[in-house]
Amino acid sequence: MASAAQSPETRLAEVADGVHAYLQPDRWGMSNAGLVSGDGASLLVDTLFDLPLTRRMLDTMAPITAGAPIRSLVNTHANGDHCYGNELVNGAEIVASEASAEEMDEVPAALLAALLDADFAEPLAGYLQRCFGDFDFAGVTGADPTRTFTGRLDLEIAGRSAQVLEVGPAHTRGDVLVHLPDAAVAFTGDILFIDATPIVWSGPISNWLAACDQLLAWDLEVIVPGHGPLTDDRGVTEVADYLRWIQDEATARHAAGESAESATFDIELNGYAGWRSPERLAINVEAVYRELDPSHESPDVVGLFERMARLEQHLR
């Protein structure tokens, strides 16, 4: 399966006039962010998974923000790798969808720290360490959004316009896209994982596909995903194709009376085996089963990670 682009090293890349993407090599918790600068002010799109990572990003952006301070911060969703660094962005308005603001309180950094400290058996213990063990959650106190919205919000930053469009629930309950019409650029948060397996924490997949359709309708020149390298419409199409594929595979097994757990280990990855974190399929099957049957109860977060750990081991 063709890749949309090559993975970058950590860097700040100017993708349009006054528009920068902060790109990190993708693995669990290593996300992308963005900076939009105008005359004397900037908009930051997302912070990172811990304070040292966020501080390093802000230091890298300092030559730009010294003359155009960050006045607004948009969190694309509630996962910690996109908002745990909020407290370091002093004096900025913090913008998120109402659904994201509610969800942020449900998975504080302290919860991830507790998971790492828990006495789990293998393969879960090792899997959690590989996912989250390199991050420093101890110092994160958090900063909640100061402005929330539903639907669409238009922001003006020093003469530049940004459209913030709510497309969740999809990856999480309150995902948003940030569109810069004057630059033909969009920041997608985790609506896009490039060269990596998307993870459907919330769903329904139909909403996620609608978000992909919206990205394609904008006629964008550059798309900054939540994880992975810069992309274009090809990356959007690849993600949508994966989502349709897992929806079809899981639906067929649900119709045959197979359990979600059994389906997880039965589905052949085929062309998607080379994407990073293929074990996320375990979460995605659960999302399809919940969409097909609202009474279906998925395991708790520990149970979901345990299933991913077993699937990772199975796929080796």
d(CA 139, CA 171): 26
d(CA 254, CA 292): 8
Domains of the chain: 11-315 (3.60.15.10)
CB count in 10 Å sphere of residue 40: 12
> What's residue 105's pLDDT?
86
| 2/190: higher pLDDT | 190
Task: Express each pLDDT in 24-53 by its tens digit.
Answer: 998 899 999 999 999 899 999 999 999 999
Task: Express each pLDDT in 162-212 by its tens digit.
Answer: 999 999 999 999 999 999 999 999 999 999 999 999 999 999 999 999 999
> What's residue 26's pLDDT?
85
Q: Residues 253, 263: contact at Cβ < 8 Å?
A: yes
Task: Express each pLDDT in 214-246 by its tens digit.
Answer: 999 999 999 999 999 999 999 999 999 999 999
Q: Starting at the edge strand that comes first in sequence, how are the strands of the sheet with 185-187 ordered?
A: 152-157, 160-166, 176-180, 185-187, 222-224
pTM of the entire predicted model: 0.94
Mean pLDDT of 75-81: 97
Tokens matching residue 40: 């004397």
The DSSP letter of residue 8 is P
CA 105 to chain centre: 17
d(CA 117, CA 111): 10
> What's residue 138's pLDDT?
85
CB count in 10 Å sphere of residue 51: 21
Element housing 241 (H / E): helix 233-255
Tokens matching residue 294: 């609202």
Tokens matching residue 298: 């998925």
Q: Residues 284, 198: contact at Cβ < 8 Å?
A: yes
Which contacts qualify for 66-70: CB closer than 8 Å, 24 or more apart?
A: 67/40, 68/37, 68/38, 68/39, 68/40, 68/41, 68/42, 68/158, 69/40, 69/41, 69/42, 70/35, 70/41, 70/42, 70/43, 70/44
- Pick the closest to residue 286 from 305, 270, 312 (CA basis): 305
The DSSP line for 178-218 is EEETTTTEEE-GGG-BSSB----SS--HHHHHHHHHHHHHT
Partners of 180 in beta bridges? 185
Longest dimension (CA), the chain: 61
> What's residue 17's pLDDT?
96
